Chain A
Amino acid sequence: MSSDLFNSDLSVVNVGLDSFADAIDGAGGQAVRTDWRPPAGGDGSAGRAVAALINDAQIDAANETAFAKYLAAQPILEGVGRAGDCLPGMGERTITHSGPPVAWEDMCGPVKGAIIGAIIYEGWAADEAVAKSLADSGEVTFAPCHHHSAVGPMAGIISPSMPVWIVKNSDAGNMSYCTLNEGLGRVLRFGAFDAEVLERLNWMQDVLARVMGAALEGLGGIDIKTIMAQALHMGDEVHNRNAAATSLLIKALIPPALRSGLDQAEIAAAIEFMAGNDHFFLNISMGGCKSMLDAAHGVAGSTMVTAMSRNGVEFGIRVSGAGDEWFTAEAPVVDGLYFPGYSMADAAPDLGDSAITETAGLGGFAMAASPAIVQFVGGTPADAILRSREMQQITLGRNAALTLPALNFGGTAAGIDVRQVADQSVLPIINTGIAHKEAGIGQIGAGITRAPMECFAKAVRWLADNKAPG
């Protein structure tokens, strides 16, 4: 085999000194200019690992398979169940949390608070002190939601008695679960566990779950992707803005709820509860995204990211071809917009499983759909469009089912490729709420952040080390 360099017009990809490109253009050649930056943020060993993974036929085929499974997934909201009964492997003394694994003693304030609240809610302890000592004792198992086919926003706490949305991917059959959204303010997912919080959780477990379950039964399920697709055309990116999707959900649920034969006062309370919370759809969005991405997980050789998630201490990602591995880094504190009286100094590091939406091509990736919240990305719709376009550079493809009007109805960028993140040093963008670092104070701001490069550097090293020969 020999190079045919001398027999073709010279076209030069220029990596480095721009003056060389000027010379090539000046002399009648064609220079393809790059805005090169050190791969993997300058991590040399990760940069070399990427070089070993680029343009590999086996990896590309694996990614095609994984991405096709993601595209084909049809997450259907089927009903509401009890976490202990639904979540695979959960058992009766497990509490799940957001993000990668973390030991009780290392957890951040909001997660610890939410766990104490969950222990009291379950009746395993009567008060905070007893709950703490129970958590200390090791008698309660703590595990990531992601290890039990589930996701949870912020602290992500799921205990066995809690109601969960049941999502089935009608294409591949995989099941996913997510808690029901409690609303804003003093809520368990920000670490609050006072009487009002526990009372609300009990009401959700009893009334809300019953009404939602009956309404969904009446409907025979709701296609989550269709609501997402509509909401993207109505100003939501279905992570930090869910106003339209929540309205569409309520619209779908009211008729079957009214026909369910349940107590009218309960139905009214449930509808009022949904109507009072613009983020009610968020947890369903997360469950839907989890459903699509779990379908793509476990394809040997694939470099597609199937989860990005944070526990308030560490940021972790999972990759389709890397099995149960987590690739983690310190969770960043979000430099966002803060509510009056709060600042970055009050913020917990990035927290929650909700970055599953970005992993599925929504949230920050679909920022162009959501002019209402562009203040978080620099202020203009043009900035939002730039973010969505930038994400096209690090993804395997576009999702034709989820289109963005501002990009002339182009599909949203989806299927993050760890190779591209590392090779281009372009980090996935994430829209996120910001929790107070102390338990129970709640949300103190919102903004955008980027996934840490270290996660992707570790992932490409692992993938290069574990690459199939040939």
Chain B
Amino acid sequence: MSALQKIFPNMYRDSVALMRLSAEASDLPGIEAVSAIMATEANIALLAEAGLLDGATDAGPNDLLLVIQGGDDTAITAGAEFIESALTETAEGPSEGGGAPALPHSIETALGTHPAANLALISCPGEYAGAEAMKALRLGLDVMLFSDNVALEDEVALKTMGDELGRLVMGPDCGTAIINGVPLGFANVVRPGNIGLVAASGTGLQQVSCLIDDLGGGISQAIGTGGRDLNSQVGGRAMIRGLEMLASDPGTEVIVLISKPPDADVAKRLMDLASACAKPVIVNFLGADGGAGTLEEAAHLAVAAGNGETADIKNLPRHNLDADALEKARAALGSGQGSIRALYSGGTFAYESMLILQPLLGTIWSSSPLNPDGLLNDPWQSRGHTVIDLGDDIFTRGRPHPMIDHRLRGERILQEAADAETAVILLDLVLGYGSHDDPAGELATAINQARDIAEAAGHWVHFVGFVCGTDADPQHAARQAEVLGNAGVLLTPSNAQAARLAADIVGSGS
């Protein structure tokens, strides 16, 4: 028989709560009697009468007094610990009323309930996005910063901090990524595989990953860097980190780097790292010498390398329209019809298209031209061969991106169809998470109206396009292609082929 007395000074508990607690503790093994009371004179007298208290105690009326009797010290210690932990427990148990707990308002509170979270996907307005990314880094998360309008100096600061902490900072303005098979932002559902991508271009990443999927390959990881990563100030920090991560990732056997031409020093650094890498690295700096010339070539090179083969990219098809069909298409055009009007929703597609068209057709007009002399004075009015990116800030100010909302592109299609110069309207159709549920349906409506307008004016307009997506995407690429095909769109497998087909229709032949 053993006994213990413990005073919790200045601790108040309601007597009912203490009786319940005492009863629970007395059910523990080896415990014979437990009493936890507020040490008022009356309560102390009760304890004494019950034989639980020998002599005096130092406890006063504001103190909580615990008395335990039991078989041995171990049992008593366990009983005392049970009571003490119940008394110092601050959290509440499940409660009735009050409703479900509200969603967390911050990254830190989200981590409170989900401590295993490892990445923050940030798409809040740009003015707040840099601070959110910094918090995420400080809290030990890798970051995908979808938001744009983040200051360049903030991007440099975030990526410098990421390097110090060993964290990946994708973005700002990183539209897409695939990490551990999970599509993030605007991303397609592609087959898992051994090819890892790092891309400064969102639609470039989508096109290459979808073409790899189409060619039977698969993606291990796809890392976005944001469009400014490879300029001289940022110095390619995210692409370098991405390259290093993929180089040491056992699931990645081939690496593809995708970007518009980087700053010269950054390009050299990346090329050096690429050649030093133990894995094959396919470099696709659009418009730069060496490496893959088009997104499509990059996909072919990657799939071949992934299979341990070499790709014959010199003999890739120019496009998928045969000579007869091409001749027919040309014959349908009137004498004044000679212009391509390319209305893209993806900026990289517009860029790649200009790279292909300019050597074939001369000046390509644009709101973001390859050469300054191709700048459209009025981006809302095409002239000659025009290639525009409707996702450009000029067009998206105050309205949703054309991958989500097709109204602006629909209006522009009608405008081009009414122009007697227009021979070919060139379109992309980007699928995947984040994009419109049925973009082909939206475009088909506009295309049918455009045909009526052109017909009324006595001419025929060709539509050339391609679908960037997979059959596993929520919109289903094959079904979307079917809708466009039914609307009379000449479909190619890639942007590069679409651009070349458009050129061949308006050109004198190749």
- Known A-B contacts A27-B181, A50-B135, A226-B12; the reply to A390 vs B119 at CB < 8 A is no
Number of interface residues, chain A, beta carbon within 8 A: 74
Contact B91 A410 (CB under 8 A): yes
Contact A23 B110 (CB under 8 A): no
Q: Give the CA-CA distance A15 to B94 in the complex, in Å.
A: 28
Q: Give the CA-CA distance A17 to B145 in the complex, in Å.
A: 12
Q: Give the CA-CA distance A36 to B123 in the complex, in Å.
A: 10
CB distance from A419 to the nearest CB of B (A): 9
Selected interface stretch from A151-159, A294-302, A378-386? A378-386
Q: Give the CA-CA distance A29 to B90 in the complex, in Å.
A: 33
CB contacts (< 8 Å) of B179 on chain A: these are 5-6, 10
In the complex formed, the residue of B with least CB distance to A385 is B98
Number of interface residues, chain B, beta carbon within 8 A: 79
Q: Give the CA-CA distance A47 to B124 in the complex, in Å.
A: 13
The 8 A CB mask of A382-398 against B (1 = contact, 0 = none) is 10011001100100011
Selected interface stretch from B163-171, B285-293, B320-328? B163-171
Interchain pairs with CB closer than 8 A, number: 230
- Known A-B contacts A1-B165, A410-B90; the reply to A32 vs B146 at CB < 8 A is no
Contact B138 A51 (CB under 8 A): yes
Q: Does A126 contact B (CB under 8 A)?
A: no
Most buried by B among A2, A3, A39, A390: A3
Which of B17, B127, B139, B248 lies in contact with A54, CB distance below 8 A? B139
In the complex formed, the residue of A with least CB distance to B165 is A1
Contact B131 A39 (CB under 8 A): yes
- Known A-B contacts A5-B245, A10-B182; the reply to A48 vs B131 at CB < 8 A is yes
User: A55-106: which have CB < 8 Å to B?
Assistant: 55-56, 74
CB contacts (< 8 Å) of B108 on chain A: these are 54-55, 420, 423
CB contacts (< 8 Å) of B103 on chain A: these are 33-35
CB contacts (< 8 Å) of B136 on chain A: these are 13
Contact B245 A423 (CB under 8 A): no
Which of B95, B101, B128 lies in contact with A39, CB distance below 8 A? B128
Selected interface stretch from A267-275, A311-319, A401-409? A401-409
Contact A47 B128 (CB under 8 A): yes
User: A331-390: which have CB < 8 Å to B?
Assistant: 381-382, 385-386, 389-390
CB contacts (< 8 Å) of A406 on chain B: these are 95, 97
Contact A382 B99 (CB under 8 A): yes
Contact B189 A226 (CB under 8 A): no
Which of B62, B94, B182 lies in contact with A223, CB distance below 8 A? B62
Contact A44 B128 (CB under 8 A): yes
Q: Does B315 contact A (CB under 8 A)?
A: no
Contact B12 A401 (CB under 8 A): yes
Q: Does A130 contact B (CB under 8 A)?
A: no
CB contacts (< 8 Å) of B405 on chain A: these are none
CB distance from B81 to the nearest CB of A (A): 16
17 additional contacts (CB under 8 A) given A13-B117, A230-B14: A10-B119, A11-B119, A12-B117, A15-B124, A16-B146, A20-B434, A24-B182, A26-B474, A29-B181, A34-B110, A35-B104, A35-B105, A38-B124, A39-B128, A230-B12, A408-B93, A408-B95
Q: Which 3 A-B pairs have CB atoms at the shortest separation, nearest pair first?
A: A410-B92, A1-B166, A16-B123
Residues of B within 8 A of A (CB): 10-14, 17, 62, 87-95, 97-99, 101-111, 113-114, 116-125, 127-128, 130-132, 134-136, 138-142, 146-147, 165-168, 179-185, 187, 189, 221, 244-245, 248-249, 251, 433-434, 474
Q: What are 21 residue pairs bridging A and B, where the CB atoms are less than 8 Å apart in the complex? A: A3-B168, A5-B245, A9-B116, A10-B118, A12-B117, A12-B121, A13-B110, A15-B121, A15-B124, A16-B122, A16-B123, A20-B123, A34-B107, A35-B105, A55-B135, A382-B97, A397-B90, A401-B11, A406-B97, A420-B109, A423-B108
Residues of A within 8 A of B (CB): 1-6, 8-17, 19-20, 23-24, 26-30, 32-39, 44, 47-48, 50-52, 54-56, 74, 223, 225-226, 229-230, 233, 381-382, 385-386, 389-390, 393, 397-401, 403-404, 406-411, 420, 423-426
